[in-house]
Amino acid sequence: MEDLREWIRQELWDQVPVAISVIDRSFHIIEANRCFANTYGEWRKRPCYEVYKGRTQRCNNCAAVETFEDGQLRIREETGLIREGLQTYYLVHMVPFFRPSGELPYIIEMSTDITAHKVLEKEKLEAERLAAVGQTVAGLAHGIKNLLMGLEGGVYVFKSGLHQADSERMLKGWGMLDENIARISTFVKEFLEFAKGRVPQVHLVSPNRIAQQVFGLFEHKAELAGITLRTNLQPDLPYALMDEDGIHTCLVNLVSNALDACEISDRPSRSVVLSTREEGGTLVFEVTDDGTGMDYEVKKRVFTNFFTTKGSDRGTGLGLLTTKKIVQEHGGRVSYESAEGEGSVFRLQFPRDRLPHPVEEAKSEMLCKTGG
């Protein structure tokens, strides 16, 4: 055992694969082990910031200064220069050395090279970025291809009607063109809305009024499709600080999806309900339908870029992704329940204490509406 202790005392200092140095209160290195010398080069009579980083002045936010002041052990990631002049990343443990009197004359710094880990981390992030770019480009190409196919079909029908002097066929072709131009507009608006990262324009608004506007937007479409669309709005629901256009977009996406799910359902009677309520300081919007519902595979991809179950002639796959983004900007969350063949419930929950801070106009509106 004694020979082991002697080896530890005599040899371990230079055998460990960790760069160890001892610095004094003038930040000069007064001792270092073999690994430190091999990594950072000549250290004698030189300050730590010069050896570690090639600096001529002490580092900003120096962890050694903090440890000398409070005597606390610190662990920090740092960047420096090895003896070849190349950048290195290291994890440093700063251990205060106290004398029996309580004096703190030195700090022992133990540095572990994590450069390889950082390189792998950067490569992983770059790979993820490129994968996201590829997915976005592929999704855009797919969406544009579908739109072009629709336009080409409309042009063909219109030209054949013109060639045959068939006004009904020309009208049909023109309708196809009109419909696909509208889809292009929707696609571009949804993509820009998702990509530009807009700041919510917060004002004091009535949640029920937004729900009623969305109901009015789809009332006629639901009636034509034989679907019962109704609202269940909590009376006198208090105003809330929200981006009215953003919340309107969210509800439009949810109601549109619900109506589409009902349209392809085999049920003899189908319905969609748009509800509002408040539960324990949380404002809730809910859209319930008894349409086709979602199976396990669809649920896994429901918030994925460009994923849609509506078919290439109807959906862009950005609606729910945009909805989730807007809800999160309001400090809220999106949840859903769905069973295949039974229908779905999508729920937007907004804790009032997490809603965005009001702009000055909203503060004035709040004072007016509360009598302040």
Query: Could you say which of 169, 195, 221 is where a domain stops?
Result: 195
In a domain, 8, yes or no: no
User: What's the rounded Cα separation, in Å, for the pair 21 and 214?
Assistant: 68
Q: What's the mean pLDDT in 9-17?
A: 83
Cα–Cα distances in Å, from 103 out to 21, 69, 97, 219? 19, 11, 8, 80
DSSP 90-150: EEEEEEEE--TTS---EEEEEEEE-HHHHHHHHHHHHHHHHHHHHHHHHHHHHHHHHHHHH
Do 102 and 156 have their domain in common?
no
User: What pLDDT shows up at residue 232?
Assistant: 96
In a domain, 6, yes or no: no
> Quick check: 309 pLDDT over 80?
no
The set of residues, in sequence order, having a beta carbon less than 8 Å from that of 185 and lying 6+ positions away, is none
Could you give the 3-state DSSP secondary structure of residue 80? strand
CB atoms within 10 A of CB 95: 15
**Candidate from 14-23, 298-307, 328-337 with smallest mean pLDDT:** 298-307
In a domain, 329, yes or no: yes
In a domain, 5, yes or no: no
User: What pLDDT shows up at residue 313?
Assistant: 43
Is the CB of residue 345 less than 8 Å from the CB of residue 287?
A: yes
Do 351 and 211 have their domain in common?
yes
Do 93 and 207 have their domain in common?
no
Is the CB of residue 127 less than 8 Å from the CB of residue 100?
A: no
Pairing of strands 270-279, 227-233: parallel
Q: What's the mean pLDDT in 182-198?
A: 67
Q: What's the mean pLDDT in 135-155?
A: 71
Do 273 and 177 have their domain in common?
no
In a domain, 1, yes or no: no
Helix (H) or strand (E) holding 160: helix 115-163
Percent of the chain that is helix, strand, coil (3-state, to 5): 50, 25, 30
**Candidate from 98-112, 184-198, 219-233 with smallest mean pLDDT:** 184-198
Check which CATH number belongs to the domain holding 67 and give it: 3.30.450.20
The predicted-structure confidence for 345-358, as pLDDT tens digits, reads as follows 999 999 999 998 76
> Quick check: 243 pLDDT over 60?
yes
Q: What's the mean pLDDT in 168-177?
A: 89
Do 357 and 211 have their domain in common?
yes
User: What pLDDT shows up at residue 146?
Assistant: 64
User: What's the rounded Cα separation, in Å, for the pair 307 and 324?
Assistant: 14
The predicted-structure confidence for 118-129, as pLDDT tens digits, reads as follows 889 888 878 877
Do 346 and 232 have their domain in common?
yes
Q: DSSP H helical segments within 264-335, as ranges?
A: 296-300, 319-329
- By residue range, what is the domain housing residue 148? 122-195
The set of residues, in sequence order, having a beta carbon less than 8 Å from that of 332 and lying 6+ positions away, is 348, 349, 350, 351, 354
Do 320 and 207 have their domain in common?
yes
> Quick check: 208 pLDDT over 90?
yes
Closest C-alpha to 241, from 271, 283, 298:
283
Is the CB of residue 19 less than 8 Å from the CB of residue 40?
A: yes
When comparing pLDDT for 371 and 336, which is higher?
336
335-369 as b/e: b if 16+ CB within 10 A: eeebeeeebbbbbbbbeeeebbebeeebeebeeee
Check which CATH number belongs to the domain holding 354 and give it: 3.30.565.10
The predicted-structure confidence for 83-132, as pLDDT tens digits, reads as follows 888 888 999 999 999 999 999 999 999 999 999 998 898 888 788 777 76
In a domain, 3, yes or no: no
Amino acid making up residue 18: V
Do 231 and 306 have their domain in common?
yes
Do 79 and 171 have their domain in common?
no
Q: What is the 3-state secondary structure (H, E, C) of 209-253?
A: HHHHHHHHHHHHHHHHCCEEEEEEECCCCCCEEEEHHHHHHHHHH
User: What pLDDT shows up at residue 303?
Assistant: 59
Do 228 and 174 have their domain in common?
no
Q: What's the number of CA atoms in the CB half-sphere (13 Å) around residue 126?
A: 6
Do 40 and 132 have their domain in common?
no
Q: Domain count of the chain?
A: 3
Do 140 and 106 have their domain in common?
no
**Candidate from 43-47, 150-154, 319-323 with smallest mean pLDDT:** 319-323
Query: Could you say which of 93, 113, 133 is where a domain stops?
Result: 113
pTM of the shown model? 0.49
pLDDT-based confidence at residue 198 (cuts at 50, 70, 90) = low
Query: Could you say which of 60, 82, 113 is where a domain stops?
Result: 113
In a domain, 267, yes or no: yes
